Amino acid sequence: MSNPGHPPRLPVFSPLDDIMNPSTGNEVPGQSKPPGPAPNGPFVPGMFQPGSVPMRPPAPGNPPGQWAGAPPRPPGVNGFGNTSMQPPQQMQHMNAGPPRPQAPPPMFNVNSPGQQPPMRPAGQMPPPPQTSQTASSFMNGPSNANMNTRMARPPVPTISAPSGGPPSASQGGSFNNTQGQPPSFQTYGSQQNPGLPHDGVPQSRPNELPVPFHGQGQYSHQVNPFMQKTPTQTPGNSAPPSQKSSRGPSPVPGSTMDALEGQFTPSRGAPSPAFPGARGSPVPGQVPAGNFPPPNQGQYPGPRPPLPGAPGQVPPQRFPPGQAQHFPPQPGLPPGPAHPPAPSQQVQPQQPPYGFGPLPPQAPAGPNAGPPPPPSSTAAPPSGPAGFPPVSSSPMGGFQPRPPSNNSSFAPPPPMSSNAPGSFPHPPGPAAPGQRYPPPPSNAAPSRYPPPPGANTVPGFPPAPTPATSQPMAQPGAMQPPSQYGGAPPGSYGSQPYGQPHQGMYANNVNAMTQNFGQMGVQDSQRAVNLLNERQLMPPDGVETAKPILPHDFKKVNCSPDIFRCTLNAIPQTSALLSKARLPLGILIHPFRDLSQLPVIQSSVIVRCRSCRTYINPFVVFVDQRRWKCNLCFRVNDLPDEFSFDPVSKTYGDPQRRPEVKSATIEFIAPSEYMLRPPQPAVYLFLLDVSFNAVETGYLSQFCQILLDELDKLPGDARTTVGFVCYDRALYYFNLAEGLSQPQMLCVPDLEEPFLPCPDNLLVNLHESKELITELLNQLPTIFEGNLETGSALGAALLSAHKMMSSTGGRVTVMQTCLPTVGPGALQNRDSGNTSGKNVTNIGPATDFYKKLSLDCSAQQIAVDLFMLNGQYADIATLSCISKYSAGCIYHFPSFHTVKNPSQVDKFENDLRRYLTRKIGFESVMRIRCTRGLSIHTFHGNFFVRSTDLLSLPNINPDAGFGMQMSIEDNLNESPTVSFQAALLYTSSKGERRIRVHTLCVPVTNQIGEVFATADQQAVAALLAKMAVDRSLNSAISDARDAMINAPVDTLSAYAQQVPASQRVGALLAPHSLRLLPMYMLAMLKSIAFSLSSSTKTDDRVFAMQQCKVQPLCYLMQSLYPHLYPLHRISSETPLKRGKEEIPATPQLQLSSANIDRTGLFLMDTGDAMYLLVGSGVGDQMCQDVFEKPNFMSIPDGMIDLPELENPTSEMIRCFVNFLIDSRPNGITFLVIRDDSKHRHLFFQHMLEDRTENSMSYYEFLQFLQGKAKG
């Protein structure tokens, strides 16, 4: 409730508006000063005349006419023609109109796509069948495949019935009948039945369809035909494991934005009466099938014919069975609840939902409630599955779930899966796309994680190294006492991997470490290490990952350390103890990491604590069968009936079988109360620098080519919208209205008051205008070829981007190659040459223009991502503000040039491909909750902090990491553990509103020894790096360096006091868990970000600092302390395992030249670059095997690839290198360096333990620390 103060800022669409005057929305075009030519002040006739439309730098090849003349339009009209046409369309759709009250042109953009049909000549309209159709069509669209099945089933009316009690039974019956589909879908009323109508129309994109969420309360468990309850996993959105390229589609289209994640939205109304009965479908309102816009229409604006209101005729409460079947989605929908997915139109319906509020009450309340309908609900989820790629392959098309075969709705019913009746059936296949529950993958193999630590361990400290490690999957389950899980078949749940990327993602390294850790002897972890004596600190297979050791009774799986880590794995009970240990307390989180397996739940009720709004998680305590005690605020809450109801046995079972209670990482499909407006479509706008400098680098053609290749893979649904703006000293817009024969370029030289030359069609539906977009991308490089204009009006371009997208939000991608020098936001070159000496300046912003604009963007749910391709100083310190506060990301390709710098080209291509196709979440917020007594002190990362625990993230991407420093405000003696919960609410690219929840549980201790023994040195170093960046910006780099030196000094001195004096003499002692801390600090001191070297460019330094703030832990650590591998020692004796593959491996070395010999090959992996050093004494055979050269001297300098040779050595090396490359999301530059090369320094600058002219060696540094500690 605290939210009241924060109204989400959704400017544009407020449902209310729509409701208030629906008509206005539609009329927009006509009314609000339509962009008629005349009205627009700015439009100077001269400028836009069609003919004249200046193709500034005239493309040599193109006759001007092409661009300029959008053929049909009357000259005056230019862009506007469209608008005029629109009204009619809208009229048709009536209500459907986008709610925007004002018709400011920009707003339309979004809509326009949907509307477009009208624009075209009638004859031309290629009407995808669905397009024009009403809501029903939407619903259907996706589901077509399923249609049959659904048709068959009787709609399940029962659910809707308020009394509900019976439903379960009935459901069961009905379901079974229905070809195995999950009954639940139907139950929820017509809305849900998506697919009815259009049988015929096969949808082109199966995946998209599944509109799971809307409105249906679904339980994740669905009833299968077999009556098993299957928890399904939905792989769907959750990202498929992303390989380098994330795949994109998240299955479900979704929903809304909201601002406060999870908070109660003030309930505006009581739960809508309409749904009283439906406990099961609590959220009926959510979007009915309607959400899915038919492919074509998809746009926001799209007219949704089926306005809820209209259909409203149907009494909300019950749907006549018949209707339900038919799908008239509209009718079926209760006006209130149904959220039309469609953005604006459905406004009315939406409201009711709001009323719902998260109140649990709705659900089951009925006494009868017996089986909450939800279970039945399985169905809805389809969308989930759809997302998964796999699904598509399945015959069913997008809707796998529905196919009779899966009983559990989505879960592919693995026949074999353990069917213990009581338990939730596992999804059979590990990866089965359809499943929503965390599928216990049948094969344990994938999961590498060690079983939950708690399992074996004694409550006390040292956990027995978990034997299970190697076979995590199987064991955990086995170990658990059956009783805990109730009827669950042993192993079934326990064994689930919680969404970890086992599958060989880039997580591999970490996983490997984890294993090691498990195997490590306990003694080891409590041992004191004398750093001065022990030189070999790095285990050969990488640094181990520290994990919290939970008490025995938490036989639960904690959150993966890849996602969530705490610097201290035993939290000091009091702040005094913390300050005594001199270690920073904080958490590092990578919330949107690509996961290969993630349980997705679509439940009627999301169980949360009533006072602190914490989501139920594995670490809560069940007081009895009906109550649970929140582990964050300790309030005792009632458990909704549905939560413990087991649809299979029709009994109330043990709530601990629920996936929410079995997995620390889980995703919910959010009901309507989590939406403040209809979910936005995916909107992508590209701002391309086309000044002389930019054209000269040649990036434009490469960019266009890559975008062309990936156009179909942009994450999104039928509503996906794209737009392009180019800029040099002027802005060039491109009218891509469907129906034009050529893209139409509109030049606006007026920078002071940027205006949009035409109200819409600058952002167009990707699918409707695909040909124009393709053509534009093909022509862009030639249009601006030879452009001599050197100015760059980035500020004006960003302002207009803000205008174009303010109605919907979305992502702006900026390609910038030089300092912006004209228009608003122009910057001076303040780089005075080298940043030398102790005074490093210019690392802060020069102006707050970009920061303010960024905040404006953030308020409109727009994120700006920056690609800096500059060769010369471009003031990244200032420009980065545009991304920093809008939760964007920044890429830097120094001295990018397609010809002169080929190694950057590969990296650019890889990064851009990954960027374009990776998963994305829109209009998101992340809230971090922690156990009472802890509070968040500072946040690190890219975002805007909206309140003490809430981050506003207009976009979230899988590569963004965050850090939070915590402080202990009260003694933590209420509980033996503390928990942190991060809840990320976002709209998937499919328009589905989702909540991803991660919970980390850490024990509390009052022993300082334990604090040291369990500290996580990597997390500590990463957090210190983030703090050091803040210190540098607020004060000076030299202060930050002092702090970096003081940190290990303080910590080690504090530790030494815990050790008997006899051991202390002449030694520099460190706990085993922190033995690498001094090394990491030294690495930071020598890193680009913090070194005082005079040769570091300001931009490089600022970018490195920025990376410290946003990189997820494992990448950050790798860039600070690169990995070094002796490739000549590669062998398959101790392979890394990735899935079933075994990758030959080599031990990892410390970064000391002592480890380098001249007869070897050494690979340095810094995260974004790999250098292969060829020793001068390398054998000729090796040269021949690896490089296909007879000897060392003939190896060319500057090779950027390894030849593919067929001999064991080459194969092993390439296999290993490729494995390393694939295990990260970003691209890399690869360079072969000969020992006598002039590029040798690229390699040796990373030998961090060596002494250099102005920096200490590691040993010297230790001695220095020792001196400071004494002094």
Nearer to another protein, 582 or 937 (CB): 937
In the complex, the smallest distance separating the C-beta of residue 847 from another protein, rounded to whole angstroms, is 7
Give CA–CA dist 566/573, Å, rounded: 15
In the complex, the smallest distance separating the C-beta of residue 830 from another protein, rounded to whole angstroms, is 13
514, 641, 1086, 1151, 1258 from 1251: Cα distances, Å = 32, 66, 11, 11, 7
Conformational region of residue 872, where left means phi above 0, alpha means psi within -120 to 50, and beta covers everything else:
beta
In the complex, the smallest distance separating the C-beta of residue 1109 from another protein, rounded to whole angstroms, is 13
Nearer to another protein, 872 or 935 (CB): 935
> If you ran DSSP here, which 8-state letter would residue 1185 be given?
I
**In a 3-state reduction of DSSP, which class is residue 979?**
strand
Length of the chain: 1271
Q: Which two tokens stand for residue 916?
A: 């374009």
The residue whose two tokens read 């228009």 is 823
Q: Which two tokens stand for residue 1079?
A: 């090394």
In the complex, the smallest distance separating the C-beta of residue 938 from another protein, rounded to whole angstroms, is 5
Q: Of 685, 846, 816, give the one whose Cα is nearest residue 756.
A: 685
Nearer to another protein, 80 or 943 (CB): 943
Nearer to another protein, 275 or 939 (CB): 939
Q: Which two tokens stand for residue 22?
A: 């629906």
Q: Let me know: does 1194 contact 1252? Beta carbons within 8 Å.
A: no
In the complex, the smallest distance separating the C-beta of residue 566 from another protein, rounded to whole angstroms, is 18
Nearer to another protein, 696 or 1030 (CB): 1030
In the complex, the smallest distance separating the C-beta of residue 947 from another protein, rounded to whole angstroms, is 4
Conformational region of residue 826, where left means phi above 0, alpha means psi within -120 to 50, and beta covers everything else:
beta
Q: Of 397, 408, 375, give the one whose Cα is nearest residue 195.
A: 397
In the complex, the smallest distance separating the C-beta of residue 791 from another protein, rounded to whole angstroms, is 22
Nearer to another protein, 169 or 855 (CB): 855
In the complex, the smallest distance separating the C-beta of residue 671 from another protein, rounded to whole angstroms, is 23
Give CA–CA dist 257/923, Å, rounded: 6
For binding to another protein (CB under 8 A), which residues are involved? 2-6, 9, 844-849, 851-852, 855, 859, 884-885, 935-939, 944-950, 967
Q: Let me know: does 565 contact 963? Beta carbons within 8 Å.
A: no
On the 0-12 / 13-18 / 19+ scale of CB atoms within 10 A, 1213 is: buried
Nearer to another protein, 650 or 852 (CB): 852
Apex CA 631: angle with CA 439 and CA 624, to 5°? 80
Q: Which residues pair with 622 in a beta bridge?
A: 628
In the complex, the smallest distance separating the C-beta of residue 1238 from another protein, rounded to whole angstroms, is 40
Apex CA 766: angle with CA 763 and CA 768, to 5°? 100
Q: Which residues pair with 814 in a beta bridge?
A: 687, 866
Nearer to another protein, 134 or 880 (CB): 880
On the 0-12 / 13-18 / 19+ scale of CB atoms within 10 A, 1270 is: exposed
Nearer to another protein, 91 or 846 (CB): 846
Nearer to another protein, 314 or 632 (CB): 632
Contacts of 1211 (CB under 8 A, 6+ apart): 1205
On the 0-12 / 13-18 / 19+ scale of CB atoms within 10 A, 1184 is: middle
In the complex, the smallest distance separating the C-beta of residue 845 from another protein, rounded to whole angstroms, is 5
Contacts of 1269 (CB under 8 A, 6+ apart): 1049, 1052, 1053, 1056, 1068
Nearer to another protein, 11 or 894 (CB): 11
CB-CB neighbours of 499 under 10 Å: 31
Nearer to another protein, 612 or 763 (CB): 612
Task: Provide the sign of the torsion angle of the four alpha carbons 87, 88, 89, 90, taken in this order.
Answer: positive
In the complex, the smallest distance separating the C-beta of residue 810 from another protein, rounded to whole angstroms, is 21
* H-run or E-run covering 15: helix 15-20
Give CA–CA dist 227/225, Å, rounded: 5
In the complex, the smallest distance separating the C-beta of residue 882 from another protein, rounded to whole angstroms, is 12
In the complex, the smallest distance separating the C-beta of residue 2 from another protein, rounded to whole angstroms, is 4
Nearer to another protein, 705 or 935 (CB): 935
In the complex, the smallest distance separating the C-beta of residue 972 from another protein, rounded to whole angstroms, is 18
Task: Provide the sign of the torsion angle of the four alpha carbons 213, 217, 219, 225, taken in this order.
Answer: negative
Nearer to another protein, 31 or 947 (CB): 947
Give CA–CA dist 1203/1185, Å, rounded: 10
